[in-house]
Amino acid sequence: EETLLKFPTDFPIKIMGERRDDFAQTMVELVLRHAPDFRAETVEMRVYSRGNYLSVTCVVRATSKAQLDALYHEITAHPWVKMAL
C-alpha cells in the first residue's frame, strides 16, 4: 500500500477518551503490543472538558504502514476511546 511516510519513523499517536484511573496504562499496554520498543515514560497526558476526558500521546517508532494500521484499529476498537489521531 502507498504511504507518504518513510519507515522507520517516529510517529505520534494521540488517544482521547474517558478519564479513568487506568486509561493511560491501558493505552500504553495496547501500544506496546504493536510497538514493543515503546518507552512508556515518554507518554504525555492532558486533561480536557472539566476533567471528564484525557488525552494520551505516545510517540512510537513505526516500522510499517501495516503496523500503524493494526495499532489504530485496536486503539479505536477499545470502548473507552473516543478518538485517535
Question: pLDDT, tens digit, for every residue of 2-30?
Answer: 789 999 999 999 999 999 999 999 999 99
pLDDT for 65: 95
| pLDDT over 70 (residue 1) | no
Question: 35-82, pLDDT tens digit by residue?
Answer: 999 999 999 999 987 889 999 999 999 999 999 999 999 999 999 999
Q: What is the per-residue burial (b if ≥16 Cβ within 10 Å, else e) of 52-81?
A: ebbbbbbbbebeeeebbeebeeebeeeebb
pLDDT for 13 equals 98
In terms of DSSP bridges, do strands 53-62 and 9-18 run parallel, antiparallel, or are they unpaired? antiparallel
Does the structure show a pLDDT above 80 at 84? yes
Maximum distance among all Cα pairs of the chain, rounded to whole angstroms: 41
